[in-house]
Structure 1
C-alpha cells in the first residue's frame, strides 16, 4: 500500500447516525423537518429527506475525509451546473449559518454533514436489461460530464481514494490479503496482474483531469421516453470526484454495465462510442480502456468482501455483491486483446487487417485445383430441406465432396447454418474462425513459417513470430525437436492413404489463447483480428464473402418503391425458413410468430416437390384445360357451406375482396357498401375503399368514396359497447346506418367484414352480431361478404371458417394468404347466380389465378392441412399459448387483454386498464426486443398496440412456450 491513510480508509464503516439523530441535525442546522429514508452508500451514509419544501438528500461523511475533499465535491457540483451541455446535477444547500459543510458530533463521534437538492429520476441498477439507447445515453452522459469537468481544478482533487484506478493494483493487493475465498482471490489476482501489465506502458500517455469516477448505473437518474425506456440525463453522488485518468471515468461506467449485459461484454460498446463522440479518446486511452474495466471489476469484488467484513449490516453493499461478482465474471470471460479490437472497431480506430505472410504452404502435396469447397451457409446448395440441423451433416458433406474431388474444405469466415440452434434467446456462434478439411490419410503437413511445435489440449500448436497455428487431427512428426524451419514436415494426417480423415486449421495471433471455433456475428469482426484466415498458408481461396445486409437494404431502397415497407428499422436479411422458423444470412434462427402467409410452414418438402414437378410439366393460364384447376375448384367448393359451389381463382386477398365487391354490385344492381371502421381488406381501388384502418392508411377516414358507409367497429374490448350485452348497441349502429341509406333512397349492394376482427388482433365479434346484420342486409337484397383472408382456412383451430364461430353462412367467401403458403393465390367462393351476374360486365380472367402451378400449390396445401392435422394443432397449441399469455396478463398491468382463438391471437398493451390508453411506443419497443431474443413479431391495430400472433399452423408447443417465455422476459426485464 502506498499510503497508510488509503489503507485505513478501505477499512471504514459507514457513519453511525440514526434517522432520529439525522432529523435532529436537520432541524438544528437547516431548519427542516420531514420523513427520512436511507439511501445506499459504501462508506458514507445518505438519507432522502421529504419536507414540505421538497425532497433533499442529507449526506454524512466521516471525519477521516478531509474537509477540502468535501469542498471539492461541492465546487464540482457548482462548476458542472454552469457548463453548457452538461448533465443535470444536484444543487448544494447552505445551512442556516451559511456554511455548506456542517461539522457536528453524534454520540461523541464527529461527522461532516451536507444537504443537496434531490435529483428526481430512476436509477438503472435494478433494471436487468438496458436497451442500446439506454447504454448509449449513459456513455453520452459520462462523456458530457468529463467535458464539463475538463477545466475544473481544486486542491481537494488530490486524494487518496481506493476507487482511483491509478492505484488499482496496490488497492487490490491490500484488499485481497483479507479475502477468505482462496479461489476467487487467485482469479482476481491473476486478472489484476494481466490488466495492469497492459496499462503500465500506457500510463504516461493517459490524460489527467478532474473526473467524477463514479458515473454508474446506480449514480445516474433517468427519464422514461415514450416507449418506457430509461434515458439517463442526470448524475448524482460526486463523492469520488478526484484528479484521475479521463479514460478511467469511462472504465467505471462500462464496468457498471456488465451486469446488465447478459454475459456479453460487447454490450458496452454503444456507451464507448457515445462517450468517444463527445469526449474523444486517444489511441493509448482506447487500448487502456478494457484493462481498466477489468481492474475496476477486481477492485469492486475485493472491496465488497472487505466492506462486509467491517460493516456486515450494510444492506447496500450486500445487495450489490451479486451483480458486482457478475461484473467481474463477465470482465474476465474474454481475452484482453479481443476487447481492445472490439473497442477500436466501435470508434472506427482499428488498423487495417493484414493477412499473415504466405511463407510456405501447409499442405504442399495437395493440388489446390482438386479441393472441393463445401458451402454450409444459409444459401448453401449442400443443405437441402432440414439437413442443416443433423449432427453429422458437416462431416458427411465434407466426405462426399472429398470423394468427388480428392479433398474437401469448408470456408473460413462463413456463417454456418449447421451451427445455428432453434429457440435460442441469444445469437449463436456461427461464424467459422477455422477451416475443416477432409483429406486422405498420410497427407503430409509442413511448417508454413519457422517456429516451435508443442501439444496442448488434444491439438498441435505451431508457434512462430506473432502467429500461432492450431492443428486438430494431425499427428506430430517429432515433438522432441526444438524448432522447425519453414517448409519442414511437422506432422501427418493419420490413417490409411485410401481412407479419409479430418483436419482443422486455425490461426491465432495471441499466445496461450485457446480460440473458439466459432464466433457470434456481432463479435466476428474482433475475433477475425485474433484468428485471421488460414487461406494464405493453405494456398487456395477458402474465404467466404461476408453478407452485407445493410448494403442490400440500401440497394432495395434505391429502386423498390418507398410505400412498400419492410419490417424493422434494421432488419435481418432472411433468406431461408423451416417450419415455424426463419434463418438470416448470419445463421441466426428466428421464431416466426407473425407470418400467416405461410400456413403449413416454411420450406415444406412436400410442397416444394409438388411445385417443382408441376413447373417441370406445365404452367400457363387458366383458360387452358387441365386437371389441377378442376380438382382445386372442387376441393374449395366442398369446404364451403352448401350452396356456395362456385369458385373464382385470383392472385391475392386484395383481388379476392375487390372481385367480391364487384360481384355484389353486379348481383344487386346497387353500389352502396357497408363496412366496419378499423378494418383492412386490401390495396386495390375497391378493397381499399372499404378499408378504414388508419394504421394502414392515415387518411382512411377522410378519403372514402361516397358509396362506402362505415359503421362503428364491434370491438368489445375498447369500442363504445363492451361486454356480453354489447351486441344490441353494435347492431343498432348498423340499423341506423341502413335506415339513413333507406331514407336517402340509396340501394344497398352489400356488407363486408371479417368474421373475427383480425386487424384488432383477433377479437371475436359480439355473439349474434353477424346473424342480425346479415338479416338486415339481405332484407335490402344486399350481399354478405365474409373476408376470411386472415382468419379462415383452419387458423382459428376450433373452426375452419371464421363465420362458423358466428353461426352464419355468407353469400361470398374471400380467402387468400395461407391457402398458397406464400405463393400468390386467392379465391372467391359464392353461389352460382351471384357469379353469373358478373357476365353482364364481360368475362373474368386472372393470368396466374388458377394456373397449373397455383392450383397444385392450393391442392397440396389442403392435403398437408389434412394429413398433418394442422387445424387440430392450431386448436391445441393455440389454446395452450392463449392460457400462457393470459397468465402474463395476471403479472403485468401493461397486458390489457388477450384476444382471439387458435393460432390467431392478439395481445393488447395499454398504459391504463381503465382508460385503455394504448401503449403504442411500448409495443414497438417490445417487438424490437423480441427480435433481439430471436422472435419475429409486429404490432397491429389502429393504435399499433396489439401483438398480432399468427404463426404457421405447424407451430410446436415448445415454440409457443418459447414465445411466451420470451415475452414474459421482456415484460419483466424491460425493453
Structure 2
C-alpha cells in the first residue's frame, strides 16, 4: 500500500458539479432528458435522473480514482446479477457510445461518469428503530453478498482505499489531525490503540476476498412488509468494493446498526447470528469482529471531522456526523472481552467447562455455616416496597448472619433491590460478585499464586489470567508483593465479635475494573468474564439459572392452548406493587392494561385481609357467616334505588350468564338483543351474546338463534357518525325489536361503554332511547359493568350513569376482587325471586368468607385512597396527553373513553380510517422493550387498550405517554 496515495484520497472533496452540468452529461452521453436531483455522497457526486418513466443514478467521481476500480464495480454488479441467491443490485447502463464508463471535462477538470439502474426501496437509515427481525435480515443480506462475492476476482480490487479496515490504524491516526475536539481526538486514539492490540495477533488467520465494504443502512434498500417493518432486499453503492478481510463486511454492517441500537451494543447480535448461519465465521474471525467494529467507528468519526473541514457545505456528511459519533460511543461502551464473549456465545461457541483452580479464602469459616440470602423477585424477605430501600441488601444480609454467624449473597442472582421503576432500560440487576457478612477479624489466606495490587478502595490479587477484587479486608502487604497459595493475606475488617462486610469479585480481563452488576440481557456474556467466586467459600453460591424457554414449554405442554398469554416471548411476571409488575430479572413494567387490579398489585391491606379470613374460615355460601351479609349490603348500597338484591359469583362471565338466566326466568322469554363487536364472557350464555371478532373470528356465524345482534353504536368508525349518531343507532335497535314483535326479547344487554372496542363512549342519548324501547317491548335491560364500572370511569361509579339511565340488572366482576375470583349481579327482589322457580342457586367461592372479606377491603381501599377521584384526575390528564399525541402523529387517530378506561385508535389514514392493525401489534411489543405492558383490542386489533390499576400516578401516566410518543416517533 502507498500511504501517500492513501492519505491523498482521504483529503479529496466532492467534485464541483451543478444540477445543470449533471443534466447535460445525462443528455449528451446517455440521451436522457428529465428531472435531476442530487443524492448524498461523501467524495463523489450522485444524481437521481428521472426520464421516460424510469429512474437512474448518475455517478460522477474524480479522475484520481483509477479506472480499474470503477471497472471492478461494474463487473461485480454484473457478477451478482448472475448469482442465484445474491441480493438485488443495480446494473450499469452503457452510454450511447457503448461504454460503461465515460470521461467528462467540467471546468477544466476530468471526471469518470457512470449510469446505473435505480434500485427501488427505502433506505433503513430513515428509521431510528429497526426490530430484531430486520436486524437479523440485514445480517443475512450481508452474508448472501459475501457468499456471492466469494469467487469474484478483478484487478481493480487491489486498491489504496481509506475505508479498507486492513488500513484502519494508520488511516484513523492520520485523520485525527483534523479532529478539533481534544477529548474526541483522545478517545478515538485510545480506542484505535486498544483495537489494534486485540486485532494484531489475529490478522494472519483472517480470510481475504472481494468485499462490498460499505454495506450500511444507507446502502441497503428495503421493502415494507405487511406489518410495517422494513426488510432489506437490495444493495447499492459499490464504491468501496475491495479485496479485504471477509469478516470486515459484517463489522461494517454491525457498526452501521449501532446508531439504531439505543445505546446497546448487543443489539447487533441477531445480525451476527444470521450472518454466521449462512457464511460461517472461524473462531479467529469472530474474535476479530468487535475490534473491527470499533476500528470502523473510529475511522468514521475521524473521517467525518476531516471531510467537514475540507468540504463544510457537504450536507450529507453533516447529516451523518451525529450518527457516526453515536456509533463510536456505543461501540466503545463495552469491554472487548465482554463483546467477544457475547459474539462467541451468539454463534454457538462451545465453552470449556473447567473453572479456575483456587483454594478457600477463609479457611476458618465452616462452609456449612454460610446462610444464603434470597434477594430475588421471589424473595419472601421483601415486604411491600422495601426492595426500594437502598440499604435493603445489607440489612437482609446482616439479618441472615444472625442465624449462623455467616451469610452471603448469591452470585448470578437478579436482585429485585436493583430494579428501576419507569425506566426504558432494563436495570443492571445481575450480580457479578458476592457480598458476605461474617465475623470481624476472621483470617483470610491467598487462594492462588498471584501478585498483590492496590487501589484506593480495595486490593487485587492478580495471576497470569485472573484477578480477584477484594473489598473489606485489612491487609498490610505491600503493592507488588508476590504471594503463594496459602499465604496469610489479612483479616476481615471489624473488631472481633462484630460483623464485618466482605465483597469478592473474580475477573478474567486483567485490564478491567468490572462493574458489580450487569443488565439481564448482557448477563451471560459478563458471566464469562466475571466468574463465580463460590470456590473461595467452598460452598455453592451460584443462583440457579432460569430457563424461560423450558418453563414456557411446560406451560404449553399441560395448559390448554386456547388459554393464551400476552406477547410472543412473554416475560415471567412473579411480583407486583401498585401499578408496577416485576419479572424474574428484576425488570419493572408499568401495567397499563390490568383492570383486574383495581387497587393495584401487592396491596398490604388485601394481603392482611385474606390472611386474616383464611386463618378463621373459608367455606361456601350455604353456611351462615357475617361477611356475606356485610358485603351484600355494601354492594346494594352502591346501586341505584330499587336494585337491592345481590348474587355473588366467581367471575364476570358467570355474572353475565346469570343475568341472562334471570331475564329468561323473569320474562318467560328466550330472545336476547346484543351489540355487534361486544364481548361479555366465555360461558355458554355469555359467549352467545358476544360478537367480538377479535375474541372469536367465527362469532357472527356461530350465534344461537335466540341471540339477535344489532348495529354497533361506534360513532368513530361505525355506519353513523356525528351529533345525531345516537338516534340513528337507537333506531336500529327499534327496527330489531319490531322484527321480533312475534317473539319479543327477554333482555337487551350492552356494556355501558364499549370496552373491547377500545373504551368507545356510546353516543349521546343512545341508552335512554334503547332502554325505553326494550321496556316497552316487555324486556329487561342488562348493564354489563364488568370492565367499565366500579369507579374506573372516575367521573361516574357506574358506566350507565354517563348515559343517565338505570338498568334492571347490573353485572360486575374484574376489579371488585382485585384478582380474587369474585363477581356479582345486582337486581330487584322481584327479578331475583323469579329464578327460584328453577331451583336454588349458589357459587362455591364467589360468596366465600375470603371472597367477601377481599371484596369489602377493595371497597375500603377505594374509599380511603380516593381511587375513583384518582381515576378521574389522572385519567383526564392522561386523556389530554393522548389527544396531544394525535396532533403530532398521523398514526394516532382518536382517543376514546373516560377516566382510566381509555383507548387510542391507530389508523393508517384518517379519512378512510384504515385500521393500523399490524402497526398496533408491533407498537405493543416495542412498548414492552421500554417497560410498558400494553395490548391491542377492537375487532381490527388496532386500539391500544388503556385500563391500568386505579392507583396510577401522574408520573406513571406521563411516562406511558412519553414512551408511546417515543415509539410513534420511530417511524411506522
Task: Give the TM-score taking structure 1 as reference length.
Answer: 0.99
Q: Which residue of 1 is the match for residue 649 of structure 2?
A: 650
| DSSP-derived class of the 2:351 partner | coil
Shift of 1:176: 2.1
Corresponding residue for 1:169? 169
- What's the CA shift string for 1:574-603, capped at 9, x where partnerless? 000000000000110000000011110000
Q: Which residue of 2 aligns with 1:914?
A: 911
The residue number in structure 2 matching 1:682 is: 681
Instruction: Pick which of 411-420 and 46-55 moved more.
Output: 46-55
Q: For residues 254-297 of structure 1, what are the alpha-carbon distances to aligned partners after superposition, in whole Å with 9 as ceiling and x for unaligned?
A: 01111111111000101101111111111111111011111111
CA distance in 1, matches of 2:208, 2:871: 64
For residue 195 of structure 1, give the secondary structure of its aligned residue in structure 2.
Answer: helix
Maintained 8 Å contact 2:291/2:336: yes
Deviation of 1:181 after TM superposition, in Å, equals: 2.9
**Is the CA contact 1:471–1:506 (under 8 Å) kept in the aligned structure 2?**
yes
Structure 2 match to 1:869: 866
**Preserved CA contact (<8 Å) 1:226 1:922:** no
Deviations 1:621-673 (A, max 9, x none): 00000000000000000000000000000000000000000000000000000
Distance 2:456 2:212 in 1: 46
Query: For 1:282-431, what aligned pairs fall within 5 Å after superposition?
Result: 282-357=282-357, 359-431=358-430
SS at the partner of 1:277? helix
Corresponding position of 1:833: 830
1:206 deviates by 1.1
- Give, in whole Å, the separation in 2 of the partners of 1:423 and 1:815: 31
1:575 aligns with 2:547: no
Matched residue, 1:796:
793
Q: Deviations over 1:834-889 (max 9, x none)?
A: 00000110001111110000000100000001000000000000000000100000
Structure 2 CA distance for aligned equivalents of residues 703 and 482 of structure 1: 83
Give the aligned partner of residue 564 of structure 1. Answer: 563
Check the 8 A contact 1:507/1:533 in 2, yes or no: yes
Which residue in the other structure is 1:468 paired with? 467
Match of 1:34 in 2: 34
Q: Residues 375-413 of structure 1, C-alpha deviation per residue, up to 9 Å, x if partnerless?
A: 000001111221111111111111111122201111000
Q: Distance in 2 between matches of 1:490 and 1:458?
A: 16
CA contact (8 A) 2:756 2:938 kept: yes
Q: 2:728 matched to 1:758? A: no
Change (3 A) 1:457 1:49: farther
Give the equivalent residue in structure 2 for 1:209. Answer: 209
Q: Answer yes or no: is the 8 Å Cα contact 2:493–2:501 preserved in 1.
A: no
Q: Give yes or no for contact 1:784–1:811 (8 Å, CA) kept in 2.
A: yes
Q: Residue 966 of structure 1 corresponds to which residue in structure 2?
A: 963
Determine whether 1:590 maps to 2:579: no
In structure 2, the partner of 1:937 is 934
1:157 matched to which residue of 2?
157
- Supply the distance in 2 between the matched residues of 1:88 and 1:510 (Cα, whole angstroms): 43
CA distance in structure 1 between the partners assigned to 2:581 and 2:752 by the alignment = 30
**From 844, 848, 873, the counterpart of 2:841:** 844
Q: Is the 8 A contact 1:360 1:486 kept in 2?
A: yes
Q: Is the 8 A contact 1:475 1:494 kept in 2?
A: yes
State the secondary structure of the residue aligned to 1:705.
coil
Change (3 A) 1:708 1:22: same
Extract unaligned runs of 5+ from structure 2: none
Q: CA deviation at 1:465?
A: 2.8
Q: Distance in 2 between matches of 1:879 and 1:354?
A: 60
Query: Could you tell me which residue of structure 2 aligns to residue 738 of structure 1?
Result: 737
Which deviates further from its counterpart, 120-129 or 35-44? 120-129
Quote the Cα distance in structure 1 between the aligned partners of 2:715 and 2:553: 43
Correspondence for 1:73 = 73
Structure-to-structure mapping, 1:695-714, within 5 angstroms: 695-714=694-713
Which residue of structure 1 lines up, in the alignment, with residue 626 of structure 2? 627
Distance (whole Å) between structure 1 residues aligned to residue 723 and residue 881 of structure 2: 24
Report the equivalent of 1:278: 278
Q: 1:926 aligns with which of 923, 936, 941?
A: 923
Per the alignment, residue 769 of structure 2 pairs with 772
**Distance apart, 1:355 and its partner CA:** 2.0
Report Cα offsets for 1:60-95 as digits up to 9, x if no partner.
Answer: 111011111101101111111121121111121111
For residue 483 of structure 2, give the secondary structure of its aligned residue in structure 1: coil
Partner of 1:103: 103
1:149-197 per-position Cα deviation (integer Å, ceiling 9, x unaligned)? 1111111111110011111112122222443333322222221121122
The answer for the alignment partner of 1:883 in structure 2 is: 880
**Contact map agreement 2:733 2:770 (CA 8 A) in 1:** yes
The farther-off stretch of 928-937 and 446-455 is: 446-455
Aligned to 2:217, the other structure's residue is in SS state coil
Residue number in structure 2 paired with 1:59: 59
* Structure 2 Cα separation of the partners of residues 553 and 198 of structure 1: 40
Deviates more, 1:863-872 or 1:185-194: 185-194
Aligned ranges for residues 891-910 of structure 1 at < 5 Å? 891-910=888-907
Counterpart CA distance in 2 for 1:796 and 1:25 is 68
1:319 alignment partner, SS class: helix
Aligned 8 A contact 1:2 1:170 in 2: no
The 2-side partners of 1:182 and 1:728 are apart by 72
Distance 1:659 1:635 in 2: 20
Deviates more, 1:864-873 or 1:327-336: 327-336
Q: SS of the residue aligned with 1:758?
A: coil
Secondary structure of the corresponding residue to residue 125 of structure 1: helix
Q: Distance in 1 between matches of 2:479 and 2:232?
A: 60
Contact 2:748–2:781 (CA under 8 A) maintained in structure 1: yes
Q: Report how far residue 351 of structure 1 moved.
A: 1.6
Q: Provide the C-alpha distance between the structure 2 equivalents of 1:382 and 1:584, rounded to a whole number of angstroms.
A: 17
Question: Could you say what secondary structure the match of 1:70 adopts?
Answer: helix
Residues 294-338 of structure 1, C-alpha deviations (whole Å, 9 max, x = no match): 111111111112212221221111211111111111111111111
- 1:952 maps to 949
Unaligned runs of 5+ in 1: none
Superposed, 1:503-522 pairs within 5 Å as 503-522=502-521
Query: How far is 1:457 from its partner?
Result: 4.2
Cα pair 2:737 2:777 within 8 Å, conserved: no
Contact 1:472 1:504 survives alignment (8 Å): yes
Partners of 1:232 and 1:475 lie apart in 2 by: 59
Q: Name which of structure 1's ranges 370-379 and 488-497 shifts more when overlaid on structure 2.
A: 488-497
1:542 aligns with 2:544: no
Change (3 A) 1:732 1:178: closer
Aligned residue runs from structure 1 range 100-139, under 5 A: 100-139=100-139
Q: Which residue of 2 aligns with 1:249?
A: 249
> In structure 1, what is the Cα distance between the partners aligned to 2:435 and 2:68?
65
Q: How far has the Cα of 1:420 moved from its partner?
A: 0.4
Q: Distance in 1 between matches of 2:138 and 2:61?
A: 27
Could you tell me whether the CA contact under 8 Å between 1:353 and 1:529 is conserved in 2? no
Match of 1:83 in 2: 83
CA RMSD of aligned residues (A): 1.1
Verify the 8 A CA contact 1:341 1:350 in the aligned structure 2.
no
| Partner residue, 2:816 | 819
Moved more, 517-526 or 165-174: 165-174
| Residue 231 (str. 1) matches residue 228 (str. 2) | no
Distance 1:353 1:116 in 2: 54
Quick check: 1:122–1:223 contact (8 Å CA) kept in 2? yes
Contact 2:643 2:826 in 1 (8 A): yes
Partner Cα distance (1:724, 1:695) in 2? 28
Report the more deviating stretch, 171-180 or 576-585. 171-180
